Chain A
Amino acid sequence: MGNSVSTWSRWAWLTGLLVAPLIVLTVLVVVLNDISLVQRGATALILMVVVIGLHVFSGNSGVISFGTVAFAMIAAYTSALITIPAAQKPSLFPSMPGFLSWILDFSVPVPLGILIAVAFTAFIAFLVGIPLVRLSGLAAGIGTLAFLVVVTVIVTKWKSVTRGESTMVGVPKETTIWWALAGAILAIAIAAMYQMTRRGRRLIATREDDKASMAIGISIPVERLWGWVFGCSIAALGGALYGHYIATFSASTFGFALTFFTLAMLVIGGLGSLSGAVIGVLAVQILSEFLRTIETQGLGPIPQIEAPGLTEMVLALIMLLVLILRPQGLTAGREVTDWIHRRKPSQAPVAAEQSDVEVDA
C-alpha cells in the first residue's frame, strides 16, 4: 500500500484523476454544441455536487441520510428569494409576511446569492444536525427522512414565501455548464481534502469501528456533526446551482424522487469512496439519458417506445441488477488512486510529516 505517499500528493492525485475526465467530457460536450447534450451534461455535473454532498456525510460516516436533499431545496429557495430582481418581487410574493418583507426590497447578484444561500443552509444544517447526528442506523434514516418531510411540507404549504405548488418562477437563469463544472470540481476538491484531514479520518474511523474509535477518544457526535455540516453545505451548493439552472422549480423538484436518484447513484458507484460518488453519477446519468432517448425518439436500430415511466422502470431494474450482482457498487468502496498508488508507490514523493496523518487506505 502507498504508505509513503504524502497527504498532499494523495489529495492532488485523487482530485486530479476525478476532475480530469470531467473536464475532458465537458469540453467535448461543449465542442459538439448539441443543446440537449449540453443540458444533460450540466444536469449531471450539478447532480454530482449533490451526490458528493451525500457522500461526505453518508459515505464517510456510514450513517444513511434521506435528508441531505432537503438542504439542496433550502439553498435553492434561499438563493432564489434573494436574487430575483426586486422589481418583480411584489407581484411574485404579494402576501410576504411582515417579518420577511425586507426580502422584497433588494436583490443580489447570483454568485453572491449562492454564497449566502450556502452559508445560511450550513447554519440550518448545523442547528438540525446537533440532535440528528445522535441517531444512528435506521433511526438516523427515519430522523433524516422525517426532516425531509417537514421541509417539503413547509415549502409546499407556506405559499406566501415559497409560492407553494405554483412553483418558483423568475429565478435568474445563470448557471452554465462551466459553472456546473466549477461546482463539481470544487465539491470534489473539498470532499477529497476532507477525507484526508484528521477530521475526516476520525469520521471514517467511527464508520469502521465505533467502539474502537470511541476508545481512542473520538467523539462520534462531534465528528458526525462536522461531516453533516460539510456534506449538507456541498449539497446546498448543488441545490442553489440547480435552482439557477432550471429557473422554475417547486418542492417536488427536490423531493423523494431526487433523494432516491442521488442515493441510488451513490450506492451504485460504491458507498464509501469519493470515486464511487463520481462514477455512480456518470454511470446512472449516461444510462438514464440513453433510455430517455429511446423513449422519446428511438436510437439507431431501436424504435421509439412510447410509454411514460418506461425509462424509470428500466433504470430501476438495472439498479436492482447492479445491487444484486455487485452489492458493493462499481468501485467496491475503493478510490481510483488505490490502484495507482499500489502500482508505483516508490515514485511518489516521500512525506516528512508522516506522523501528522495516518494514511492507510
Chain B
Amino acid sequence: MVWLQYVLDAIGTGALYALMTLGLALVFSVMGLMNFAYGQLIMIGGFTMIMLRDQPWFVLIAGTILAVVLVSVLMERLAFRPVRHASAMTMLITSFALAQFLQQAARVAFGANPKPLKQFDGLSKQYELGSLRISTMSIVTLVVTIIVLVSLALLLRRTNIGIQLRASTEDVEMAALVGIKSNRVIAAAFVISGTIAAIVAMLFFSSRTNVSWSSGESIVLIAFVGSVIGGLGSMVGAALGGFLMGFVYTMLNALLPMELRVFADAFLYLLVIVVLLIRPAGLVAAKGVRV
C-alpha cells in the first residue's frame, strides 16, 4: 500500500507540472520561442496573491489572473515582437534577459527576503482512504488540471481563435498566407499562457509558505525540460512530459536509498539526457517541427 501512496503523491505533483509545461509549450508551438520568463510570470502571480491576501477569494483569483495575463501580454508586445524574426538563439537569450529583468525587478520591489503567504487551512486537510492519505490540495490540483486541460482542448478545437492557433502551430507562414493574423494569434497564445501561469501560481503557492524573487527559476527549468522531452510542438506531448517530470521526481525522492536521495535532481536530469538521446524530437514528436 505504501507504493500506492507514493503513486498518489506523484500523480498530484505530475498534474501540476503538466499544467506548468502546457503554458510554456503553447507559446513555443505558435512562435518557436522558449520563454524563459514564463517562470517569472508564476513568481509575479505569487506576489499578486500576497498583495491581494485580504480580499475575498474571487477578487484574489480574478486579480491574480488579470495581473499575470497583463504582464504576459506586455512581455510579448514589448520584448518578443521585435525579435520575432531573429534567430532562435536570439529569442531564447531575449527571454533569458527578460526573465532576469523581471526577477531583479521583483527583488528591488519586494526586497531580497522571501515574503510570507497567507495559509489556507482548508487546503491542507487530509482525507484517509483506508491506509491512503490524500489532501484537499491534491484533489483541487487534480480537478483544476483536468478542467484546464478540457477547456484548453475545447478552446483549441471549437473556437475560431483556437483553430487559428492550431493552424499557426502547424505552419505559421502558411497560416499567415491564408489570412490568419499572426499578431492576434500570438497575442492570444500569450493570454492563454498567462492564464495558465496564474492558475499554476495559485496552485503552487497555496501549498507553500512564502514567495521570493527567485521562486520562478526552478519552475521554468522543469517546464522547459518537460516540454522538450514530451515533444516540442505537441500539446499532448508537453502535458505528458511535464507530468513525467513531476511523477518521476516524486518517485525518485521516495524510492532512492537515503544517501542517494540528495542526488535526486541529478538522476532526473540524467534520465532527461537519456530520453533526448533516444528520442531527440521528444516522446510525442509533432510532425514537421524542427528541433
CB neighbours (8 Å) of A143 from chain B are 272-273, 276-277
The reply to whether A142 and B272 contact each other, CB–CB distance below 8 Å, is yes
Bits for A175-203, please: 1 = Cβ < 8 Å to B, else 0: 00000000000000000000000000000
Residues 13-60 of B contacting A (Cβ, < 8 Å): 34
Q: A336 CA to B290 CA in the complex, in Å?
A: 33
A343 an interface residue at 8 Å Cβ cutoff?
A: no
Q: Which residue of A lies closest to B261 (CB)?
A: A157
Q: Are B90 and A308 in contact (CB under 8 A)?
A: no
Q: Does A283 contact B (CB under 8 A)?
A: no
Q: Which residues in chain A, 103-126, are within 8 Å of chain B measured between CB atoms?
A: none
Q: Given contacts A146-B272, A147-B273, are A153 and B82 in contact (CB under 8 A)?
A: no
From the candidates A141, A142, A313, name the one contacting B101 in the complex (CB within 8 A). Answer: A313
The minimal Cβ–Cβ distance linking B179 to chain A, given in whole angstroms, is 28
Decide yes or no whether B265 CB sits under 8 A from chain A.
yes
Stretch at the interface among B138-146, B183-191, B220-228: B220-228
Which applies to chain B's interface (DSSP): helix, strand, loop or mixed? helix
Query: Does A350 lie at the interface of the complex (its beta carbon under 8 Å from any beta carbon of B)?
Result: no
In the complex, what distance in Å separates the CA atom of A247 from the CA atom of B131?
53
Q: How far does the alpha carbon of A4 sit from the alpha carbon of B273 in the complex, in Å?
A: 45
Q: From B94, B98, B225, B291, give the contact of A145 (CB < 8 A).
A: B225
Total B residues in contact with A, Cβ cutoff 8 Å:
45
Q: B270 to A320, Cβ gap below 8 A?
A: no
Contact of B97 among A145, A157, A309, A320 (CB under 8 A): A320
Classify the interface of chain A: helix, strand, loop or mixed.
Answer: helix
Q: Are B266 and A154 in touch, CB under 8 angstroms?
A: yes
Task: Decide if B163 is an interface residue (CB 8 Å cutoff).
Answer: no
Flag if B228 contacts A320 (CB, 8 Å).
Answer: no
Number of residue pairs spanning A and B whose beta carbons lie under 8 angstroms apart: 136
Q: Is A131 an interface residue (CB 8 A)?
A: yes
CB-defined contacts of B98 to chain A, threshold 8 Å: 316, 320
Min CB gap B285→A, angstroms: 11
Instruction: Determine whether B62 belongs to the interface, using a CB cutoff of 8 Å to chain A.
Output: no
- Complex: how many Å from CA A157 to CA B265? 10
A-contacting 9-mer, from B63-71, B105-113, B151-159, B196-204: B105-113
Instruction: Give me the interface of B with A, judged by CB distance under 8 Å.
Output: 34, 79, 82-83, 86-90, 92-94, 96-98, 100-101, 104-105, 107-108, 111-112, 213, 217, 221, 224-225, 228-229, 232, 262-263, 265-266, 269-270, 272-273, 276-277, 280-281, 290-291
Using a CB–CB cutoff of 8 Å, the interface residues on chain A facing chain B are 58, 62, 64, 131-132, 134-139, 141-143, 145-147, 149-150, 153-154, 157, 256, 260, 263-264, 267, 271, 307-310, 312-313, 315-317, 319-320, 323-325, 327-328
A sample of 11 cross-chain residue pairs with beta-carbon separation below 8 angstroms, ordered by A number, consists of A131-B277, A142-B229, A143-B273, A146-B276, A157-B263, A264-B93, A267-B89, A309-B105, A309-B107, A316-B100, A325-B82
